[in-house]
Amino acid sequence: MSKLLLVAFSASEAPLGVGFAKALGFPFDILCFGEAPSADLGAELIKVVAITELPPADAIARIIAGQANGYTTLASASSMHAKDAMARVAGVLDAAMVTDVVEVVSPTEFKRPIVAGSVLATVEVLASPLVATFRPSAFRSTNRSGNSPVETLTVDLTSKVERISHSKRGGARPDLSQARVVVSGGRPLKDASTFETIIGGLADALGGAAGATRAAVDSGIAANELQVGQTGKIVAPNLYIAAGISGSTQHMAGIKDSKIIVAINKDADAPIFEFADYGIVADLFDAVPELTRLVKS
């Protein structure tokens, strides 16, 4: 019988897979790293690898591959650690892999964006098992019920890789990929403190996350992990505000699934206005602080 193993790299990631499991239509177990997730997700079994920090990809992949027996599909929400580990799992299992699924056509046919989101491709999977990552924003699901049994696994965490340092930034703002509001800034933001005041200020007023273009990240205006786009984070908030962003294909690839896109750009012909629901032609150094003031009042 077909069965899905939903891999969650933290307890908070586990609920993100419920919608995908429903779309696939298979009964599923959850393999969760960290603490046990809530038991009402509808899984038949929750397997927990109790750790406080994820080991390097070779160890994670070995653990996941070691649990693969009996599953038709192994899937996890797309993220950098998911892509790092799951593609290695596919290599270990010599299994087919599909990255960034946005639609389940059938249990062996999936849609995914390619060429920076310019094209939506259908991929047919010709062998089992399948290893997949999916974009959680495409598989939202809220209704939960059930009470899954939890089993704690004893695993070998040894890795050929030594982690010598780890810097966790982030701070108080919500996680970019999950945030309901994202305020992003581009190249004109000048420097890190201007970015923080202007973009961070509006993000905080809205209780949202801050994001950036590659141009902003490359010029040291914003931190690496804030990059949104084809090669950065994929976001799908309710409200995306782009200030001083031209609207390159690569940036748009990361924001297309946002519900409302607002663009603030001083060039009336900027390509971003072709995608934005609402546009304001203005200098962001006037418009964004004004918006922050109005939101706060």
Ligand X SMILES: Cc1cc2nc3c(=O)[nH]c(=O)nc-3n(C[C@H](O)[C@H](O)[C@H](O)COP(=O)(O)OP(=O)(O)OC[C@H]3O[C@@H](n4cnc5c(N)ncnc54)[C@H](O)[C@@H]3O)c2cc1C
What DSSP element (H or E) covers 210?
Answer: strand 209-212
Question: Is there binding between residue 15 and ligand X (CB under 6 A)?
Answer: no
DSSP code per residue over 39-106: TTS--S-EEEE--SSPPPHHHHHHHHHHT-TT-SEEEEE-SHHHHHHHHHHHHHHT-EEEEEE-EEEE
Nearer to ligand X, 34 or 232 (CB): 232
Give the distance, in angstroms, between the CA of residue 9 and the centroid of all CA atoms in the same chain.
Answer: 12
Cβ atoms of residues 217 and 191 within 8 Å: no
Of 116, 171, 190, 148, nearest to 17 (Cα)?
Answer: 148
**CB under 5 to 8 A by kind: which of ligand X, other proteins, none does 270 bind?**
ligand X
Site string for other proteins, 43-72 (x = CB under 8 A): -------------xxx--x-----------
The single residue listed with the structure tokens 């390619």 is 114
Residues 123-162 touching ligand X, rule: CB under 6 A, are none
Question: Is there binding between residue 215 and ligand X (CB under 6 A)?
Answer: yes
Question: Is there binding between residue 55 and ligand X (CB under 6 A)?
Answer: no
Residues 240-269 touching ligand X, rule: CB under 6 A, are 244-246, 248, 250-251, 254, 265-267
**CB under 5 to 8 A by kind: which of other proteins, ligand X, none does 162 bind?**
other proteins
Strand partners, 196: none
**CB under 5 to 8 A by kind: which of other proteins, ligand X, none does 213 bind?**
ligand X
Strand partners, 29: 5
Question: Is there binding between residue 187 and ligand X (CB under 6 A)?
Answer: yes
Question: Is there binding between residue 34 and ligand X (CB under 6 A)?
Answer: no
In the set 47, 88, 135, 251, which binds other proteins (CB under 8 A)?
A: 88
Nearer to ligand X, 191 or 283 (CB): 283
Give the distance, in angstroms, between the CA of residue 210 and the centroid of all CA atoms in the same chain.
Answer: 15
Q: Provide the binding-site residues for ligand X, judged by CB under 6 A.
A: 186-188, 213-216, 227-232, 244-246, 248, 250-251, 254, 265-267, 270, 283-285
